Amino acid sequence: MDPEIRRNRTAWEDASEKHVREYHQLLDRARHGSALFPQELALLRPLLRSSPTVVHLQSGHGLDDAALVHAGARSVVGVDFSSVAATAAGRRAGALRIPCRYVIAELPGAPLRDGCADLVYTGKGALIWIPDLAVWARDVARLLRPAGHLFVYESHPAVPLWSWDSDEPRIRPDRGYFARSHVNDTFPANGAREWQRTLGEIVNAVLAAGLELRHLAEFAEPFWRPDGVTAAAWQGQLPNTFALLARKGC
Ligand SMILES: C[S@@+](CC[C@H](N)C(=O)[O-])C[C@H]1O[C@@H](n2cnc3c(N)ncnc32)[C@H](O)[C@@H]1O
Residue 220: the pLDDT is 97
In this predicted structure, the answer to whether residue 186 has a pLDDT above a threshold of 90 is no
Residue 148: the pLDDT is 98
> How many percent of the chain have pLDDT more than 90?
86
Instruction: Give residue 187's pLDDT band: very low, low, confident or very high (50, 70, 90).
Output: low
Say if CB 133 and CB 208 are below 8 A apart: no
pTM recorded for the entire structure: 0.96
β-bridge partners, 183: 193
CA–centroid distance, 5 to ligand 1, in Å, is: 12
CA–centroid distance, 167 to ligand 1, in Å, is: 32
In this predicted structure, the answer to whether residue 82 has a pLDDT above a threshold of 80 is yes
* Span 36-62, average pLDDT: 97
The one-letter amino acid code at 188 reads P
State the CB neighbour count (10 A cutoff) for residue 169: 18
| Sign of the CA dihedral with 214 first, then 59, 222, and 40 last | positive
What Cα–Cα distance (Å) separates residue 21 from each residue in 31, 79, 100?
17, 21, 21
Q: Which of 86-90, 144-148, 188-192 has the lowest mean pLDDT?
A: 188-192
Q: Where does ligand 1 bind, in terms of residues with CB under 6 Å?
A: 5, 8, 12, 58-61, 64, 80-82, 85, 106-107, 124-126, 129
The one-letter amino acid code at 190 reads N
Atom of ligand 1 nearest to the CA of 58: 12
Share of the chain residues as helix, strand and coil, in percent rounded to the nearest 5: 35, 25, 40
Domain boundaries, the chain: 3-248
CA–centroid distance, 60 to ligand 1, in Å, is: 5
Calculate the average pLDDT of the chain.
Answer: 95
Residue 159: which of 64, 225, 63 has the closest Cα? 225
CA–centroid distance, 94 to ligand 1, in Å, is: 21
Atom of ligand 1 nearest to the CA of 5: 19
Residue 189: the pLDDT is 63
* DSSP per-residue letters across 41-93: HHHHHHHHTT--EEEEET-TT-HHHHHHHHTT-SEEEEEES-HHHHHHHHHHH
User: pLDDT tens digits for 191-244?
Assistant: 778 999 999 999 999 999 999 999 999 999 999 998 889 999 999 999 999 999
52 cis-preceded (ω within 30 degrees of 0): no
User: pLDDT tens digits for 8-39?
Assistant: 898 899 889 988 999 999 999 999 988 999 99
3 cis-preceded (ω within 30 degrees of 0): no
CA–centroid distance, 146 to ligand 1, in Å, is: 26
CATH architecture, domain 3-248: 3-Layer(aba) Sandwich (3.40)
Instruction: Give residue 7's pLDDT band: very low, low, confident or very high (50, 70, 90).
Output: confident
CA–centroid distance, 59 to ligand 1, in Å, is: 6
Atom of ligand 1 nearest to the CA of 80: 22
In this predicted structure, the answer to whether residue 1 has a pLDDT above a threshold of 90 is no
Say if CB 201 and CB 133 are below 8 A apart: yes
Task: Tell me which residue has its CA closest to atom 19 in ligand 1.
Answer: 107
State the CB neighbour count (10 A cutoff) for residue 133: 19
User: pLDDT tens digits for 117-143?
Assistant: 999 999 999 999 999 999 999 999 999
Q: Which residues contact 149 (CB under 8 A, 6 or more apart)?
A: 47, 52, 118, 119, 120, 214, 245, 246, 247, 248
Q: How far, in Å, CA of 159 to CA of 240, rounded?
A: 6
Q: What is the largest CA-CA distance in the chain?
A: 51
Instruction: Provide the residue count of the chain.
Output: 250
Atom of ligand 1 nearest to the CA of 62: 9
Residue 190: the pLDDT is 67
Atom of ligand 1 nearest to the CA of 61: 9
